[in-house]
Amino acid sequence: MASQFCIQGLGGKRTLRGDIAVAGAKNAVLKAFAATVLFDGEMPMHNIPAIEDVTRMRELLAGLADGPVLKTEVAERLRASIVLTGPVLARYGSVTFPHPGGDVIGPRPINLFLDGFVKMGASVTLEGDTYRVTASKLRGADITFEPISVTATETLLMAAILAEGTTVLRNAAMEPEITDLALYLNECGAKITGAGTPIITVVGGGLLKANGIPYITPPDRIETGTFVLLGALAAEKIKITNCKPEEVSALTTLLRDSGVPLTIGADYIEVQGCAEPRALTVRTAEYPGFATDLQPPMAVYLTQARGISELIETIWKGRLAYTADLNTMGARIMLDDSQHARIEGPTPLRAQALHSPDIRAGLAFLMAAAIAEGTSTIDNVYHIDRGYEHIEERLQKLGLNIAREEV
């Protein structure tokens, strides 16, 4: 049975109040699950978020008991399934998988992964929609990513751990999740240097051993930023706890420029709703720039900012398609092209029946419904559940009238 969210909007009032703790990071824990393939013995994990994507990753790992094949029906629903290909290929000498699925926010070519495997000595065949990559033993290689790719960096980094010789990854992604994973893998015997910089070097070796050392999933910086934006829109005062404020500094700098009152501590951000936020120009970029995953909730914020804001998406070509739904709620968002939006505000939003197209746009619709006049519904909430743990229960504690209904 499918679920939908029913949200009674605040009609522009700023009444949310309380504390909300950030859960473990989706974009970190999925890669840590993939890394378990590299271990001799168990790899303990703590702070695992209760999200649907974790369930799917567990299913993929369980399926490996029958051979190095990623189950098509699961992998096609999970974009992060691609990161399993590196560890599985490195350990078992082959991996078979479909084109990865997940959110429909633009084309997701996998040539960076396949080209990297070939440089490491693998061969690739494609039969229908199924890839098979084989290599009796991967070899170290010098690989340059163009463009920068977080998942390709993570996938080839993990493959290199069991490769013969040294692998150098250039133009590597610098997201904190990569650094966090590399530090843990090094504790368990890997030889990785340069994580968090554009050049990562990995000296290959044998299987890793945790020796009881747990991987502790870091707080989700995208969830952190999303809650900050919700607070700026709808809070009397909320405190986002268990977070790393420095990882969302690109966002908090913009919000301060827009007039949002923020108090930032070592592991918390306190935010008050802003009565008259000012328009902004926002451009997504690789870390440490403004995260593309925060672009949809930022669009909702900008509908309430005075003036004409610009929102420029540089990562995914199709990621502004959801703005048409915000316009049905009363927003005035004009697309100059598929990657450039102009947002005129402030505009009061009205309730609407919405369909969640992906994780981040789905949560943005929830935010829009929260500030709108009237009662909105959001269906296809499976997408929201893929990335946000028990979101309705956590927002209820802040004072939002939101309920999950079976339909």
CA distance 404 to 354: 14
Which tokens go with 32?
């840590």
CA distance 337 to 318: 10
CA distance 239 to 242: 10
| Residues 6+ positions from 12 with CB-CB distance below 8 Å | 348, 371, 373
Domain count of the chain?
Answer: 2
Backbone angles phi, psi at 118, to 5 degrees: -60, -40
Residues 260 and 367 reside in one and the same domain: yes
Residues 18 and 145 reside in one and the same domain: no
CA distance 204 to 160: 6
37: CATH: 3.65.10.10
Q: 115 and 123 in contact (C-beta within 8 Å)?
A: no
Question: So what's the pLDDT on residue 104?
Answer: 47
Residues 281 and 355 reside in one and the same domain: yes
Residues 16 and 34 reside in one and the same domain: no
DSSP-assigned states of every residue in 230-261: HHHHHEEEEEEES--GGGGHHHHHHHHHHT--
Per-residue pLDDT of the chain (407 residues; tens, 9 = 90+): 789 999 999 999 999 999 999 999 999 999 999 999 999 999 999 999 999 999 999 999 999 999 999 999 999 889 899 999 999 999 999 999 998 765 444 545 799 999 999 999 999 999 988 999 999 999 999 999 999 999 999 999 999 999 999 999 999 999 999 999 999 999 999 999 999 999 999 999 999 999 999 999 999 999 999 999 999 999 999 999 999 999 999 999 999 999 999 999 999 999 999 999 999 999 999 999 999 999 999 999 999 999 999 999 999 888 999 999 999 999 999 999 999 999 999 999 999 999 999 999 999 999 999 999 999 999 999 999 999 999 999 999 999 999 999 98
**Domain-ending residue, one of 174, 194, 216:** 216
Question: So what's the pLDDT on residue 308?
Answer: 98
**Domain-ending residue, one of 184, 216, 248:** 216
Residues 85 and 207 reside in one and the same domain: yes
Residues 200 and 64 reside in one and the same domain: yes
Residues 257 and 303 reside in one and the same domain: yes
| Residues 6+ positions from 337 with CB-CB distance below 8 Å | none
Residues 242 and 352 reside in one and the same domain: yes
Residues 83 and 105 reside in one and the same domain: yes
Residues 261 and 292 reside in one and the same domain: yes
Residue span of the structural domain in which 229 resides: 3-23+219-406
Residues 178 and 202 reside in one and the same domain: yes
| Residues 6+ positions from 65 with CB-CB distance below 8 Å | none
CA distance 306 to 336: 20
Question: So what's the pLDDT on residue 79?
Answer: 87
Residues 153 and 275 reside in one and the same domain: no
**Domain-ending residue, one of 183, 216, 249:** 216
